Structure 1
Amino acid sequence: MRLPAFLSRISRRRRELLGMLGNTPRLIQLVWAAAPGWLSVNILLTLINSSVPVAQLYISKLIVDQVILILAHEATGFTPYLLGLVLLGLGLLLINEVLNQLAVYVKRVLEDQFLLYANVRLLQQAMRLDLAHYESAEFHDILNLAQQSGGQYPLRVVSLLSRLLGQFTRLGGLLALLLRFNLGVMGLLLMSVLPTFWIGIRYSSRRFRMNRRQTPSRRLADYFYQILTDPQYVK
């Protein structure tokens, strides 16, 4: 009895996952149509930000190797090469901070651009509909859901994909460094990434279903709020 229910649940999850993946290209295309330049800059900053920690790790390794070499030769003081590595490490810290601030700025501009674009598209589509649609409660639920999440859900998908791109870029750089030392560490690193990836996908789908279930009650609450607080209805 439990096995068929488990298989049915697995099948339902698989269909939901395939449905989300099938809509992903359309969501990316929608964000691209709103702000192609800012989206390109966002992706570029993600790639650069993901490469900086790998470069910092490699510079730290070179600094440690140089210190060990100096101690082995019983030398004292900074060598020009070691001083250059330290300055390069400090420069990478400064670059990383600047890139983080730029990423925050680009993300906010992209959100504003897409929110404006989504609202305009929603109004254009609503103006084309017949007045009979506005007498349907189901249509108001769909319209309310589009107003609540239409300007946010595509950006969340793009943000999730950007984070995954950054994580895979960072992971690839770390793997390239770890392959020089031990293959076992590479396996542990891969195992540590998979739970985070699975939890992100699982709870994002749950949040979407919860928002969809709450749409009718949210619309009813907005209706009562407007009636109870608007001076026009009090009179």
Structure 2
Amino acid sequence: MDSASQLPGLRHSYEGEPLLESTMADDPVAQFAIWFADAVAAGLPEPNAMIVATSSSGGRPSARTVLLKGFDERGFVFYTNYESRKGRDLAENPRACLLFPWHPIRRQVRVEGRVVRVAREDTEAYFRSRPYGSRIGAWASRQSAVVASREELDARYEELARRWPDDPPVPDFWGGFRVMPSEVEFWQGRTDRMHDRLRYRLNGRSWTRERLAP
């Protein structure tokens, strides 16, 4: 690496609490709930923001930030346009990786798993809970498609707002995905780059927990 490529002065000290097997929940979703509550209590902006990585059938990777909208023992749910790049990727290759980068509290959580669409009734219930403007926006934006200008996008929004001034229907091209975890890793920053990494792997119906080298 030449000197122009280096980033001098970016030295970070990670001084988090030890992450011990004896203090971890037996189930990764239960452990995620504990850490998510910690992230909320710490006042992190958008603690439910997560990076979603997908890949096309040809192996071309792609990543973006979306918002987690729910989680339980079945998995982690987010909503999007099914015709977007991530939607097309997941139609071709229904697996994804999620990353929650909670840097201020020196933690990360990584989730890998198979992806399925949520039940249509769940999509409809969530869509109707969204603010009116977001519901119109879901119709106005053919996500990931090329548009000629911002003016074209705004004009489409205004046209649809006039069409549905009160209650827009749920688009058939929009809905939820659930990432069903087969592997969940919890990362806790420690001093001297000797970080703690504990990974849960699904074996049949039970979880195996193991420590990884940092």
TM-score, normalising length: structure 2 = 0.24
TM-score, normalised to structure 1's length? 0.22
Which structure shows the higher strand fraction?
Answer: 2
Report the structure, 1 or 2, having the larger helix content: 1
Relative contact order: is structure 1 or structure 2 higher (C-alpha 8 Å, sep ≥ 6)? 1
